Amino acid sequence: MSTAGTDPAAPPRDSGLRARLRGRSELGVCLLLLVLGVLVLTDAITMDTDITQRGPIGPTTVPIVVGVLLLVVAVLLAVDVLRGGRGEAEGGEDIDLTEPGDWRTVALLTGVFLANAVLIKPLGLPISGALLFWGSAYALGSRNLTRDPLIAAVLSLVTYAVFNNLLGVPLPGGPLMGVL
């Protein structure tokens, strides 16, 4: 059996779909927008609309518009990328693409957001929101142990007050329900 003309150390040649997708990572964004659009539309269509409606616009109108727009943007972006369009870097961008990503920060932020999702019901928004703001500041590099918790608490309480009291959106208060 002759192996003339083939180099076993050479990487395999890309063919077909893989070759056409090389250098088109923007299609991942298209896929994300498509999935988000389908999720938003599915949620809007299956939404319980027993709420008293005032006027022609109901509670499903905005989610349906947003879902449709997400789908339209996903398709238009995919068509542009497949036709050879590429996003341009900002003129003042100072990111060195040869450096690896900061996975520690990504992991810390992911942990903070997941902890908030788990803790918001038992602790309420004021406490879990303060932990979210403080944890995010810590993950992004702030290490001021006196200022950061105070700012986080104020942001969380203001957010709770605006949504719960001014906008009438009921949020979980947790143990602070009777105090706030």
Residue 81's contacts (CB-CB under 8 Å, 6 or more residues apart) are: 24, 26, 27, 30
pTM exceeds 0.85 for this model: no
d(CA 147, CA 155): 12
* pLDDT tens string 34-70: 999 999 999 999 987 766 666 677 778 889 999 999 9
The residue with greater pLDDT, 167 or 144, is 144
Distances (CA, A) of 124 to 70, 120, 142: 31, 5, 25
Lowest mean pLDDT among 102-106, 125-129, 174-178: 174-178
Identify the band that residue 84 occupies on the pLDDT scale cut at 50, 70 and 90: confident
User: Residue 114: which of 94, 131, 92 has the closest Cα?
Assistant: 131
The C-alpha angle with vertex 116 and arms to 175 and 70, in degrees rounded to 5, equals 130
